[in-house]
Amino acid sequence: MVVNLLIVVAGLVLLLWGADRFVYGAAAAARNMGVAPLMIGLTVVAFATSAPEILVSVDASLRGQPGLAYGNAIGSNIVNIGLVLGTVALIRPIQLRSATLRREMPALLAVSLLTVSLFLDSYLSRIDGIVMLTGLVIVMIWLARLGMRSAPSDPIKKEYEAEIPVNVSMRTAILWFIVGFGTLMVGAHLLVGASIEIAQVLGVSEVVIGILLVAFGTSLPELAVSLVSALKGEYGLAIGNIVGSNIFNLLAVIGVAATIAPSPMAPSVLSLHIFVMVAFTLVLFAMTYDYDGKSELSRIEGAALLIAFIAYDTYVVLQNVRMDG
């Protein structure tokens, strides 16, 4: 057990460092090819920050454990909204000034509802996976068009302009891209293998380990990016990073898992976890809707998200302790 926990930590460290280098290389290469910073942020960076979840999904599915991938995707979205945005808003209220970001929010809601509709028969088939991957392509195209239509005055444009790497040679960008990707693959393999062992030792399902352990670990890059962005006053990036990541988590992570290893869903996924994820998404949508003219995610709202996240995780832990007992 101790050895497996150490392997999990090593896998997470590799995922964190690999994700940072992978995003850096991908963003720098895209900029060198003349892609606009906002376009890079909405598509390349959003996809790249979900790379840990995607590679964990591939590795788990190839091992015949797609439940770990589903739990990782659903759990990561809950972590991103409840823990990451809750913590960030509690530390510093998040100003919501970007019209581009407001257009992204309904897309996240639509993708979440699509996921629910595919889960309703308690089985994810290869066709379901292809539907989600097709949806991923459509969303990527839509985001690219959204970036082209965004107003020049949108504050998120300046934030991406400041954050996308400049003056990086193409050779260096590609090198970091390859190194980052390789590190991510090794980290994902270590994390998945040790997580499966821990699940077997504790007698809990891979879905639960995916939701509680793997989801937290693979969401650490989002926590770091959102926290740093908020402290620098780049509020669009702080929340835009989460919205984009959550969209890609569902379409890419679950889509890949279902395509590689179609499987039935654990009853708890449909009866609890997927609806908690949708509830968090709906609450975020309501909180970010400008009904009071303040256009911010306040400290009180951040505290509410964080408390709800802690309550959910506590319930899942206690439920599995009882089942084990």
Task: Look at residue 322 in the predicted model and tell me its pLDDT.
Answer: 63
Complete DSSP assignment for 100-145: HHHHHHHHHHHHHHHHHHHHTTSEE-HHHHHHHHHHHHHHHHHHHH
pTM, 2 dp: 0.89
Neighbouring C-beta atoms of residue 51, cutoff 10 Å: 24
Asked if residue 294 has pLDDT above 70, the reply is: no
Q: Is 212 helix (H, G, I), strand (E, B) or coil?
A: helix
What are the distances in angstroms from CA 206 to CA 12, 57, 295, 315? 17, 12, 39, 17
Residue with tokens 């926290």: 227
* Cα 136 from chain centre: 14
Asked if residue 325 has pLDDT above 70, the reply is: no
Residue 302 identity? G
Task: Look at residue 297 in the predicted model and tell me its pLDDT.
Answer: 86
Complete DSSP assignment for 256-284: HHHHHS-EEPPHHIIIIIHHHHHHHHHHH
Please list the residues that pair with 296 across neighbouring strands. Answer: 95
Q: What is the pLDDT of residues 87-135, one digit of tens each?
A: 999 988 888 777 777 788 888 999 999 999 998 888 999 999 999 999 9
What is the percent of the chain with per-residue pLDDT over 70, rounded to a whole number? 97
Asked if residue 175 has pLDDT above 70, the reply is: yes
Asked if residue 291 has pLDDT above 70, the reply is: no
Asked if residue 223 has pLDDT above 90, the reply is: no
Asked if residue 200 has pLDDT above 90, the reply is: no
Task: Look at residue 181 in the predicted model and tell me its pLDDT.
Answer: 93
Asked if residue 299 has pLDDT above 80, the reply is: yes
Q: What is the pLDDT of residues 7-53, one digit of tens each?
A: 999 999 998 899 889 989 999 999 999 888 888 888 888 888 888 88
Within 8 A by CB and 6+ apart from 197, the residues are 4
Among residues 82, 33, 48, 90, the alpha carbon closest in space to that of 248 is found at 48
Residue 76 identity? S
Most confident of 65-69, 79-83, 98-102, 148-152: 79-83
Q: Is the dihedral of CA 50, 116, 90, 39 positive or negative?
A: positive
Task: Tell me the mean pLDDT in the region 304-324.
Answer: 86
Which pLDDT band holds residue 290 (cuts at 50, 70, 90)?
A: low
Which pLDDT band holds residue 324 (cuts at 50, 70, 90)?
A: low
- Mean pLDDT (the chain, rounded): 87
Asked if residue 287 has pLDDT above 80, the reply is: yes
- Cα–Cα distance, 183 to 25 (Å, whole number): 13
Q: What is the pLDDT of residues 230-269, one digit of tens each?
A: 888 888 888 888 888 899 999 999 999 999 999 898 888 8
Q: What is the CA radius of gyration of the chain?
A: 19
> For residues 194 and 5, is the Cβ–Cβ distance under 8 A?
yes
Q: Is 95 helix (H, G, I), strand (E, B) or coil?
A: strand
Strand 296-297 relative to strand 123-124, pairing? unpaired
- Cα–Cα distance, 92 to 228 (Å, whole number): 11
Task: Look at residue 203 in the predicted model and tell me its pLDDT.
Answer: 83
Task: Look at residue 154 in the predicted model and tell me its pLDDT.
Answer: 77
Domains and CATH numbers, the chain: 2-324 (1.20.1420.30)
